[in-house]
Amino acid sequence: AAGVIQSPRHLIKEKRETATLKCYPIPRHDTVYWYQQGPGQDPQFLISFYEKMQSDKGSIPDRFSAQQFSDYHSELNMSSLELGDSALYFCASRRAYTGELFFGEGSRLTVL
């Protein structure tokens, strides 16, 4: 069965650089979520989209932005990267009005 695809799986950037993470949800899933998980921490909600519109917003820094495209894939753009942005970034998708969130394998961002 198709799963949530995230790319790249690993990314190394320097401070103040920009990074873009991509997420391809499961077909026919109309809701996408982004989470950030720092070392030893629980996943923290960043932002979500339903039918290409932002539906909920969490602790996403102003330096980050995201969008969902017409083909339902989503991108998380991170600018002016800081050391503290080093984390696992998970994308999840869900079909509206169903209970189950499906997570991707995550993108590990390291900022040097």
Partner 1 sequence: DAKTTQPPSMDCAEGRAANLPCNHSTISGNEYVYWYRQIHSQGPQYIIHGLKNNETNEMASLIITEDRKSSTLILPHATLRDTAVYYCIVRVDHYGQNFVFGPGTRLSVLP
Binding site for partner 1 (CB under 8 A): 4, 30-31, 33, 35, 41-45, 48-50, 55-56, 58, 88, 90, 92, 94, 96-97, 99-106
Spell out the residues 6+ positions from residue 95 whose beta carbon is closer than 8 angstroms to its own. Answer: 26, 28, 29, 30, 31
Rounded least distance, CB 5 to partner 1, Å: 12
Q: For residue 8, is the peptide bond before it cis, meaning its omega torsion is within 30 degrees of 0?
A: yes
Quote the CA–CA distance of 48 and 14 in Å, as a whole number. Answer: 27
CB of 16 to partner 1, least distance (A): 27
Q: Which is nearer to partner 1, 81 or 104 (CB)?
A: 104
Residue with Cβ nearer partner 1 (55 or 86): 55
Least distance between partner 1 and beta carbon 35 (Å): 8
Neighbouring CB atoms inside 10 A of 56's CB total 12
Q: Which is nearer to partner 1, 29 or 81 (CB)?
A: 29
